[in-house]
Amino acid sequence: MRRRVFGAILAVTAVAVVLFGLPLALAVQHLYHNEAVVRLEREATRATTAVPASFMESGDPIELPVPSAGTRLGLYGADGRLVTGSGPAAIEAPVRVAFGGRVAEQAVGGTIVVAVPVADEERVVAVVRAASPAAAIDARVGRAWLAMAGLAAGAVAVAGLVARVLAGRLGRPVDALAVTAARLGEGDFSVRAGRSGVVEVDAVASTLDATAERLGQLLARERTFSADASHQLRTALAGLRLRLEAARLLPEADQELAIADALVEADRLEDTIEQLLALARDAGVVRGRLAPGGVLQTLESSWRGRLAAAGRPLRLQLEGELPQVRASAAAVTQVLDVLVSNAAEQWSGTVTVRVRAAPGGLAVEVSDEGPGVAGDSERVFARRDGTAVGHGIGLALARSLAEAEGGRLLLQHSQPPTVFVLLLPADRRLERVAQRRLLRR
C-alpha cells in the first residue's frame, strides 16, 4: 500500500514536471534566440544612422559604431563588397534579402546574422550586417535548462518527501483496518478500529465497527436463544418421551391416539425451534404493522383445545382503538405462547389475554387465577438450569424476544390474579400514515 501510494505520487509529479518543463525549455530557447535577434537588429539599425546616403559617390571613410561584446558589424555596398567593418567577403543570404528592401535574419554556419538595409529615396544603397556567435546563445540556453533541471529535480524530491509522509499517513490506518478485519474474521467481535483523521478511512472504520458490533450482538443473541431453548425444551421433550413410554407400558392405553398426540406435540416443538432459530438470526423475520387480532387468532387455535381439555377456559379481549405497532408477529406469538403455556402448566382457572392501549404503545396482558408468584418478581425471568421443572421455552427467552422487538416483558401483579404484560412501543410513522388515510376518507 505505502509503496503504491509513494510510487503513484512520484510518477504523477515526474510526468507533470516533464509535461510542463519541456514546453518551457523550448520557450526559453525561443526567447533567448529572439532576444539575440532583436539586439542585433537594434545595433544594425543604430549603425545605419552613421552611413550617409552619398557615401559611395563621396568616398568618405565610414566609421561604424562600436558594437557590444561578441557582436560584429559590417557594411556592404550596392556592389556586394564589404566596405568596412567585420564580415565575410561574399555576401550571404540575409544580406541579399536586405538588398531587396527588408530586414532579414538567419543562422549561417553557427552564427546568427541580421541584415538591415540603408535606403536613399526608396533605393537601397547599402546593407549593415550584424552577427553574433550562436554558441553564446546556446550557452545561455544551456545554463537556463540546467537551472530548470535543478528546479525540476528539487520539485520531484519535495514530492517524494510529501509522498512518503502521505503514504505513511494513509498506509498505517489501512494496515490497521486490515488487522482489525482479520481479527473480526477470526471471531473477535469486540475489536474496534482506531481513527486516523482521514475522512474516507474513518468512514470505513466506522462501518467496520458497526459490522463488528452487529455481528457480536447477533452471535450473542443466537447463543443466548439457543442456550435458553436447549435448557427449556429438554423438559418438554422428556415429558413427550414419558407420554410415549407410558402409552407403550399400559395395555389399556389407546396407542394410535397416543402416537397422534405425540406427533402433534413433536410438530409443535419443531415449529417452535425453527421459529426461535429464525428470530435468533433475524433470518426471514418480517417486522411490519402488527395485527393483534391475527396474533390472538393464532393463539386461540393453538391453546383453546388444550386448555378446554384441562377444564380451563381461554378468554381473549381486544379493547378500544389500538395504537399502530411495528413488530414481528412470530416473535409476539412466541412470547404470548410462553405466557399462556406458563399459566396452563403452573396455575389454574381462566386464562385471559387482553390487548389494550398503553401510554406510548400497546399492552398485551396474560392473566390467570392461580395462587400468584412468591418472592422477587424478577426471579421468574431468570434463566433456568438443566434440572429445572417446567414446560415451554421459558420466561427468560420470552423476555429476550420481547426486548429484541424493542418491547418489555414484566410481571405486573405477582399476587392473585397473576398478570404478565408485554409492552410494545407505538410506531409514530405508522400512526401518521393511518391518520392520513382516515383524513382521505
* Closest of 132, 110, 179, 159 to residue 35, by C-alpha: 132
* Residue predicted with more confidence, 170 or 20: 20
Contact 423/358 with Cβ under 8 angstroms? yes
- pLDDT at residue 376 in the model: 63
Q: Considering only the C-alpha atoms of the chain, give the largest distance between any 2 of them, rounded to a whole number of Å.
A: 162
The per-residue pLDDT for range 14-63, each reduced to its tens digit, is 898 889 889 999 999 999 999 999 999 999 999 888 887 666 666 667 78
d(CA 346, CA 22): 94
- pLDDT at residue 390 in the model: 45
- pLDDT above 50 for 391: no
Domain boundaries defined on the chain: 2-149, 197-283, 286-441
Q: Which CATH number fits domain 286-441: 3.40.50.720, 2.30.38.10, 3.30.565.10, 2.40.50.140?
A: 3.30.565.10
The per-residue pLDDT for range 209-229, each reduced to its tens digit, is 888 888 887 777 667 666 666
* Residue predicted with more confidence, 420 or 193: 420
**For the domain bounded by 2-149, which CATH number is listed?**
3.30.450.20
- Pairing state between β 351-358 and 314-318: parallel
- pLDDT at residue 132 in the model: 92
Burial category of 246 from C-beta neighbours within 10 Å (exposed 0-12, middle 13-18, buried 19 and up): exposed
- pLDDT at residue 388 in the model: 45
In DSSP terms, 104 is beta-bridged to 115
- pLDDT at residue 349 in the model: 83
What mean pLDDT is reported for the chain?
A: 80
* Closest of 336, 326, 260 to residue 297, by C-alpha: 336
d(CA 38, CA 105): 10
State the cell numbers at 375. 418472592
d(CA 33, CA 134): 9
CA 410 to chain centre: 42
Mean pLDDT on 70-85: 88
d(CA 441, CA 437): 7
